């Protein structure tokens, strides 16, 4: 039931064994561990394989590696977590609900200062401003407040977002090179409350994201999730 035969690669086996030694404190925080050549002999593997394994553990934050100085067990591991930001529709459907969305507003508007700063565009510059509500079984799931830059996403002016939601269209048509992303909490304002069908002042999880390609900022969006929503991270 809990035994796994051997579905792992040699590199992964080395990762597991090294991680075990660290967790079991055979190798303590700050200790220097044997170098790649020694471990290669011990594990009966090529140095390249050991190298790959140790690089994975270094990415994970468990090891510190430096040329000439060797590999040490990280003293204060600031561990990372990976968040997968799925397409809303897929997220809703994965929960077994029927997805739908509604465009609440769509018009050309001058950029407010904060969004302009995030998009590295002049304040007052006119962009497409969209407000969308995403539903699961007719219950509001997420409210999206989005600014779209036709200069970086040519063709966007002619899309009918009632048929395909903005995120999905963008993701399919304009892969980005760089993204800024931040999580925060905010109290639902009057509009949030109306669209999410919750009481004003309710605490909402907010995801603010701006994406760029080589033509500049594609879009900047503020996502407000329904009250109680939890974003799960995978280590």
Partner DNA sequence: ATCGCAATTAAGTTTAGACATATATCCGAT
Partner DNA sequence: ATCGGATATATGTCTAAACTTAATTGCGAT
Judged by CB under 8 A, the residue of 79, 107, 158, 163 near its own copies is 79
Judged by CB under 8 A, the residue of 110, 124, 155, 175 near its own copies is 175
- As given in the structure block, the two tokens for residue 76 are 């204060």
CB of 233 to its own copies, least distance (A): 4
Judged by CB under 8 A, the residue of 77, 109, 191, 194 near its own copies is 77
Binding of residue 158 to DNA (CB under 7 A): no
**Binding footprint of DNA, residue count (CB under 7 A):** 26
In the numeric block, the tokens 């033509």 are attached to: 215
Binding of residue 230 to its own copies (CB under 8 A): yes
Q: Which does 44 bind (CB under 5 to 8 A by kind): its own copies, DNA, none?
A: DNA
Question: Can you give the C-alpha Rg of the chain in angstroms?
Answer: 24
Q: Which is nearer to its own copies, 66 or 107 (CB)?
A: 66
| Cβ-based neighbours of 144, under 8 Å, separated by 6 or more | 88, 130, 131, 132, 133, 134, 166, 167, 221, 222, 223, 224
- As given in the structure block, the two tokens for residue 173 are 């048509």
What's the rounded Cα separation, in Å, for the pair 43 and 46? Answer: 9
Q: 136 to each of 89, 95, 96, 226, how far by Cα in Å?
A: 9, 9, 9, 11
What's the rounded Cα separation, in Å, for the pair 87 and 101? Answer: 13
Q: Which is nearer to DNA, 13 or 87 (CB)?
A: 13
Q: Which is nearer to DNA, 53 or 148 (CB)?
A: 53
What's the rounded Cα separation, in Å, for the pair 31 and 162? Answer: 59
Q: Name which of residues 20 to 79 contact DNA (CB under 7 A).
A: 35-37, 44-49, 51-52, 54-55, 58, 65-71
Judged by CB under 8 A, the residue of 10, 13, 19, 109 near its own copies is 19
Residue in 114, 178, 99 with CA at minimum distance from that of residue 145 = 114
Q: Which does 214 bind (CB under 5 to 8 A by kind): DNA, its own copies, none?
A: its own copies
Residue 208 in contact with residue 185, Cβ under 8 Å?
A: no
CB atoms near residue 48 (< 10 Å):
11
Q: Which is nearer to its own copies, 108 or 215 (CB)?
A: 215
What's the rounded Cα separation, in Å, for the pair 137 and 92? Answer: 9
Would you tell me which residues interact with its own copies (CB under 8 A)? Answer: 19-20, 22-24, 29, 62, 75-87, 90, 168, 171-173, 175-187, 201-206, 208, 213-214, 225, 227-233, 235
Would you tell me which residues interact with DNA (CB under 7 A)? Answer: 9-13, 35-37, 44-49, 51-52, 54-55, 58, 65-71
């Amino acid at each position: 039931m809990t035994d796994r035969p051997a579905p792992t690669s040699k590199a992964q086996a080395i990762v597991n064994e090294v991680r075990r030694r660290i967790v079991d404190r055979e190798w303590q925080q700050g200790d220097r561990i044997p170098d790649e050549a020694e471990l290669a002999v011990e594990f009966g593997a090529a140095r390249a394989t050991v190298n790959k394994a140790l690089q994975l553990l270094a990415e994970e934050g468990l090891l510190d590696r430096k040329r000439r100085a060797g590999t040490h067990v990280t003293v204060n591991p600031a561990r990372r977590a990976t968040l997968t930001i799925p397409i809303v529709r897929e997220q809703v459907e994965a929960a077994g609900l029927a997805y739908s969305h509604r465009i609440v507003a769509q018009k050309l508007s001058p950029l407010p200062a904060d969004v302009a700063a995030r998009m590295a565009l002049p304040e007052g510059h006119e962009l497409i401003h969209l407000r969308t509500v995403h539903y699961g079984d007719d219950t509001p799931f997420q409210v999206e407040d989005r600014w779209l830059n036709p200069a970086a996403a040519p063709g966007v002016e002619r899309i009918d977002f009632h048929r395909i939601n903005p995120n999905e269209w963008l993701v399919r048509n304009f892969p980005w090179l760089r993204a800024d992303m931040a999580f925060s909490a905010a109290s639902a304002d009057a509009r949030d409350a109306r669209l999410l069908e919750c009481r004003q002042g309710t605490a909402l999880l907010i995801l603010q994201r701006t994406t760029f390609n080589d033509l500049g900022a594609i879009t900047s969006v503020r996502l407000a999730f329904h009250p109680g929503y939890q974003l799960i991270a995978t280590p």
